[in-house]
Structure 1
Amino acid sequence: MTTERRVPPTTADERTMLEGWLEFHRQTLAWKCEGLTDEQLRTASVEPSDLSLLGLVRHMADVERSWFRRVLAGEDAAPIHYSDEDRDGEFHLTDTDTWQDARTTWQEEIAAARRIAAGFGLDDISKGAHRRTGERFNLRWIYTHMIEEYARHNGHADLIRERIDGATGD
């Protein structure tokens, strides 16, 4: 499968632009993982870090779930890969964790995020609140934060991928 990244239109309205850049960054992470084996996807960036491409995809599944299901929609959706006992559980891989499972879960959370966001305007306030601060957010803030979150982790993915097989790219 070849991931096709679509650059958002340069003259779109605000919502189209925000959704376009979020999709672009989602596609970028998928692209960075493309063509690698499960073993390569488990490769940590550099010791002692547990940061890997597989861990980043698992992390982003939890981030999608947190911001769109728990905060925006107010759902009682438990974390997927981490817990109170293991706050970085998404990066602590076991022998049974696979790319196929991680990708499927991530794509399911992205689909849920799209479906939920479609029911909100950019200025609509979330039904749920941040788990630590209790703050509520409008959809515009959530989209902007998600773009930032993916952009930051895509930078990590660039470096990890280059370490694995020398592949580079924007």
Structure 2
Amino acid sequence: MNEIAEMESMALQSIFYETFDLYEEDSIKFTYESNFYNCKFDYNITFTPQYPNEPLIIEIQPVGLNDGLTKSLIHRLLSLQYQFLNDVQGYIYQLVSSVDEDNFVPEMSEDSEQSQEDQQVEINHGLMPGKPCTKEAYNEWFSLYVKEHQITLIEEDMWQHQIHPRLTGYEIWKEKESEQIIED
């Protein structure tokens, strides 16, 4: 790894300290959290000998995006690095953070846009389907649930009558069992 790559590696390590890993002499891993797309990008980057004059070997794995948008973003990022090639300074953070810039949004087909909107609705809608939970809605649901499952509710005075303060559950069961034997 050349001096520019080492300096950039140290800078990235301080920025992405929780997820940064220097797993080979010339390769790094880290995760970038995009605020714009509300997802994470896992990067595996291998420095080339002539970096920053030569493009990096980059593997990108977005977590939480649909396939259409993922392909567009990866293609856009990989092609964008050619614009950053220079002799003076590293460009990894500039490349990685460019995902959150307004002008970075890639062109997508209508199918990809629709599936991305569907995915956002499923993940980020924040509301459960159906009526809002109010006292009236709960009472309506409860009465339907009781009818559907054929539950018999015990009246309060009947409940008090059925409580045996001195008997255990086993004794009550034995008593009920003996009553059934007598009736048969």
TM-score by length of 2: 0.24
More strand by share: 2
State the TM-score, normalizing by the size of structure 1.
0.25
